[in-house]
Amino acid sequence: MNINRRAFNAALAATAASSLLPGLAHAAKSIKLTMASSHPTTVPWVGVLKDHFVPESNTRLQAAGSETSINWTESYGGALYKFDKTLEAVSDGLTDLGWVGTLWEESKMPLQNVSYYTPFVSDDLPKMLGLINKLHADMPALNAAWEKQDTVFLGASGIETYHLLTREPISGFADLDGKKIISAGSVGNWLKGSGAAPVNAGLPNFYNLLKTGVADGVLIAFSGAFPFKLFEVAPNITKVGLGAQMTGGLAINKSTWDKLSPDVQETFRTLGAEYTAKHAGILMAVASKFEGLMKDAGATVTDMPQAEKEKWVNAMPDLAADWRDASGGAAGEVLTAYLAGMKEMGFEAPRNWGG
């Protein structure tokens, strides 16, 4: 048998190299993914996607010895889609991952809106969102709601608590009667019984609605009010504390998820939980800071008296009961689990929601 000695030696060397350095035998696989949001990175629930989730994904994969790296394309601030299309953008694959605003998806994802139907429970966003993530882990119906929309839930997002900013001063609950108040999505339910008319809109549009007089005020958290300079056009700030809320969450397209290797899926699960905790902590930290900055800029800040808050909560219909009955399915179980979980953490509802 004639043997090509040069070819034989080359093959032998290659075999030895691959056995000694197994990493060279498998070239790293690069996958392309898009991360997007309807809102800008100035708001923490988007900023953490850009500053933590995206860069950390490759860092974690590399540290774990994964053969996969991610080539990210990022698009924030509504460049790909607007506030009312966040769910469709992820479910249809316009983006692979993105922030989904479930507060605008009452009909498609009612279970994710449970906190909006139990206002005035707690202003502690980290604990509330921690419970929401736990409920998603424990209650299949919550994850099923995402998968029904061809998405996979990675971590909850939220807002620390809602206050009232108005063009004219508000002295008490009765002053809401006849006012047009911006109240995005499910927030509008809090105005039932007040005589105020809700105006549904996305955060990027709030400023012009107030400036032009289309709206008289807005229900919003300080973490959103300050970056968008809403205090310039609605300088009368009344602290109400309607409660921390789940506004949505980070989700990934289901088809994209199914194609990911297990190590990438595990990394995304871990980063999803970190996303929730990290942006919740930031929101709590900046809320008081932003309050002071708005006051320094000329806004008037007052506290709504407790008696006026009680008038507000008691004027509402039983939002939770209406939501439970309209949503059906697992809504009653989710409501019970949510209120019980909040109570275990020391947060008692101001009325018997759903009772």
What pLDDT score was predicted for residue 125? 97
C-beta separation of 82 from 88 below 8 A:
no
- Per-block mean pLDDT, blocks of 10 residues, the chain (355 long): 44 40 55 96 94 98 97 97 95 98 93 97 97 98 98 97 97 97 92 97 93 98 93 98 97 98 98 98 94 97 96 97 96 98 97 94
> Strands (DSSP E) along 137-240, which ranges?
151-159, 163-166, 180-182, 197-199, 217-220, 236-239
Q: How far apart are CA 312 and CA 310, in angstroms?
A: 5
C-beta separation of 112 from 246 below 8 A:
yes
What pLDDT score was predicted for residue 9? 45
Q: Is 241 helix (H, G, I), strand (E, B) or coil?
A: coil
User: What per-residue string of b and e applies to 77-116 under the rule 16 or more CB within 10 Å gives b?
Assistant: ebebbebbbbbbbbbeebbbbbbbbbbbbbeebbbbbbbb
Q: Which residues pair with 36 in a beta bridge?
A: 75, 98
What pLDDT score was predicted for residue 14? 41
What pLDDT score was predicted for residue 6? 47
C-beta separation of 149 from 91 below 8 A:
yes
The H or E element spanning position 140 is helix 140-147
Kindly report the pTM of this predicted structure.
Answer: 0.86
Cα→Cα distances 122→24, 101, 125, 245, 273, Å:
54, 21, 8, 9, 21
Structural domains of the chain, with CATH: 29-106+124-158+246-286 (3.40.190.170), 163-244+289-344 (3.40.190.170)
C-beta separation of 96 from 252 below 8 A:
yes
Order of all β-strands in the sheet with 163-166: 197-199, 180-182, 217-220, 163-166, 236-239, 300-303
